[in-house]
Structure formats: C-alpha cells, structure tokens
Amino acid sequence: MSQPGTDNRVDCRRWKLEAVCGIGDSLRPDSRATLDHLKAAGWSIGILSGDHEEIVNPIARQLDINPEFVHAGVLPEEKLQIIQQSTPEGLTVMVGDGVNDSAALAAASVGIAVHGGAEASLQVADVYLIVPA
C-alpha cells in the first residue's frame, strides 16, 4: 500500500491485523506551475519540513525542487537557523501553518501564514492568507 508521499499506519489488536491506511496530503493541481513561475522569476524554492524524508522527497520531486533545498525531519530551531542563514543572501519568504513554523516565519523577510494554521503562526506572520485559493 506504500505510495510516495504517504505515511502508512497499521492497527494490530491481539496479534491480528485490523487495518492499514496511508495518510498524506495531496498537492494542489496548480502547485507545480506556480513554483515554475516563481523559479522563472529568479526565486529559489525549498522545503523545510518536520516530516520524514519518505514523505517530503516524493513531493519535492513532483514539484521539481532542487534536492539541495529540501530539508526533511527538521526541528523548529533548525527551520529558524536555515531561514537566518538564507536571509543575508537576499529576500526570504517563509510560508507555514504550524507552531513549529512560528520562529522561522518571524525571522523571514516576509512570513506568510496560511488558512487553518496554528494561532502562534498567525500572530508572527506578516501576511495571513484567509481564504484558500
């Protein structure tokens, strides 16, 4: 049942397999085109995620993100450090939705919190996207 970008869960009770399911987020249909447009405009695109490589890497490949800029399994402090190291090189935009993104959102040149995000990320972001497009 393993599919790229999914996290598999198994439920066993009394030594009997009860259920197996794959959990994952789907990409918006326009994601690749949007990122390609940003890259064509000169932006470097990356992923900072606390999720495991098995989840993040297939998504990064689908979006054609340079593996050099793909960071999986990172802690909030590591997200902050990566943003701080990138900011002196130029404008840094961080998009996030969780408590684990808050410090990096605050440190970025522009922090963008998305609809449905944790209150902590909304409080520190420069921009809040209210309605999912």
Element holding 96 (H helix, E strand): strand 93-96
Structural domain includes residue 29:
no
Q: What are phi and psi of 15, to 5 degrees?
A: 65, 20
Structural domain includes residue 9:
no
Q: Report in angstroms the alpha-carbon separations of 104 from 61, 98, 116.
A: 24, 11, 18
What is the domain count for the chain?
1
How confident is the model at residue 40, as a pLDDT? 95
Query: Of 111, 106, 75, 67, nearest to 93 (Cα)?
Result: 111
Structural domain includes residue 12:
no
Structural domain includes residue 1:
no
* Tokens linked to 88: 């002196």
pLDDT band at 132 (very low <50, low <70, confident <90, very high): low
pLDDT at 95 over 60: yes
CATH number at residue 114: 3.40.50.1000
Structural domain includes residue 13:
no
Structural domain includes residue 83:
yes
Structural domain includes residue 125:
yes
Domain that holds residue 86: 36-129
Structural domain includes residue 63:
yes
Element holding 60 (H helix, E strand): helix 53-62
- If DSSP codes are grouped into helix, strand and coil, which group holds residue 7? strand
How confident is the model at residue 15, as a pLDDT? 73
Determine the average pLDDT of the residues in 29-55: 93
